[in-house]
Amino acid sequence: MNKRQLLQSFLAASALCFGLSPALAQSPTPIKFQLDWRFEGPAALFLHPAAKGYFKAAGLDVSIDAGNGSGGTVTRVASGAYDMGFADLAALMEFHANNPDSPNKPVAVMMVYNNTPASVMALKKSGITKPTDLAGKKLGAPVFDAGRRAFPIFAKANNIGAVNWTAMDPTLRETMLMRGDIDAITGFTFTSLLNLEARGAKAADIVVLPYPDYGVKLYGNVIIASPKLIKENPAAVKKFLSAFAKGAKEVIANPAVAIESVKARDGIIDSKLETRRLQLAIDTVINSADARAEGFGTVNAGRMSLMASQVSDAFGTKTRVSPDAVWTASLLPPSAELNILSKK
């Protein structure tokens, strides 16, 4: 037995004498994690297990930062600034296909949003009630918005004629729709719908055209990890995903309680509003019919291949997206731990 092994044995034995688990006896593995967006309702999926100590109990020191879009999250994990993150799968696919020689392309390790949250939203007074009504209309969204990037797929699936795009800062999207500067917007349903209500729109006056309801079966957000972390410490990724799944099950079961973890990180949020946002996310993209059919955390190979082809075409990538390069199921927890979706 060498000195290092002797020291590890001594530390483990000492930990047991003091009633500590071997995981806590060793120095926790630091993991820097970046969200796709601000500390809003869906962030509870990660902030709740952190607050409950599930990551810590697994021997991980996880720090969670807010993000400013999936593209930024993918780039920062690729740069090494973050070890893991939460991002739209289409953004990850685009990065892979446009940066084929990048040595540190992040990999998706768990599916969370089984359906894309993207939708087109308009006010009823615009006369828009179905996808084909969008032809010739003025649509608005930030240039990096997932719904805007994937709109060609939505348009092709629904035979929509040409539309006119207006770009703006995310904070102005719903305001410009309310003012009539644009006819419709793209965005995540659980974000823009509630933002419109906050700006005075009544739910009955808002038309929502969710992509999944109109023939677009794109996957949404996934947990991503750097290939460096996967290669050097796959056990840490497995522990993260296991702790996340445990926390996510509780979030799905009781969103109102879970939102307290978000409030603890951002004290100015409206807890009632963010609980609604979280519940909308759960109902539409996390505990959806597709998610229950495929199983939480994993993907359907045929659907993944179709999405890779659609993203390659719609985004005009430099190379074709390889589904095998962007996704691995090898680090997922056992199926029993992934059985977290409540029956409907």
Per-residue pLDDT tens digits for 5-15: 444 454 444 44
The answer on pLDDT for 1 being more than 60 is: no
259 and 202 within one domain: no
Residue 344 confidence (pLDDT): 60
For residue 237, being part of any structural domain is answered with yes
**Has residue 245 been placed in a domain?**
yes
- The reply to whether 208 and 223 lie within a common domain is no
Q: Is the domain of 190 the same as that of 141?
A: yes
Q: Does 295 lie in the same domain as 234?
A: yes
pLDDT in tens, 164-221: 999 999 999 999 999 999 999 999 999 999 999 999 999 999 999 999 999 999 999 9
Are 106 and 37 contained in the same domain?
Answer: yes
Q: Let me know whether 232 and 309 are in one domain.
A: yes
Instruction: With respect to residue 21, please indicate whether it lies within any of the assigned structural domains.
Output: no
What average pLDDT does range 155-168 have in this prediction? 97
Share of the chain above pLDDT 70, in %: 92
Task: For 300-344, write each residue's pLDDT tens digit.
Answer: 999 999 999 999 999 999 999 999 999 999 999 999 999 999 776
Of 214, 237, 252, the residue at which a domain comes to its end is 214
Domains contained in the chain, number: 2
Average pLDDT over residues 114-135: 97
Q: Is the pLDDT of residue 132 over 60?
A: yes
Measured in degrees and rounded to the nearest 5, phi and psi for residue 138 equal -95, 115
Residue 4 lies in a domain: no
The CATH number of residue 43's host domain is: 3.40.190.10
Residues 295 and 248 in one domain: yes
Q: Both 320 and 224 in a single domain?
A: yes
Average pLDDT of the residues of the chain: 93
By residue range, what is the domain housing residue 98?
29-115+219-326
Domain final position from 214, 248, 276: 214
Whether residues 232 and 243 fall in one domain: yes
**Domain final residue, candidates 194, 214, 234:** 214
Residues 210 and 224 in one domain: no
- Do the bridges between strand 29-34 and strand 60-65 make them parallel or antiparallel, or are there none, so unpaired? parallel
Are 207 and 277 in a shared domain?
no
Looking at per-residue confidence, does 225 or 69 come out higher? 225
Q: Answer yes or no: do 322 and 224 share one domain.
A: yes
Q: What's the pLDDT tens digit per position in 62-77? A: 999 999 989 999 999 9
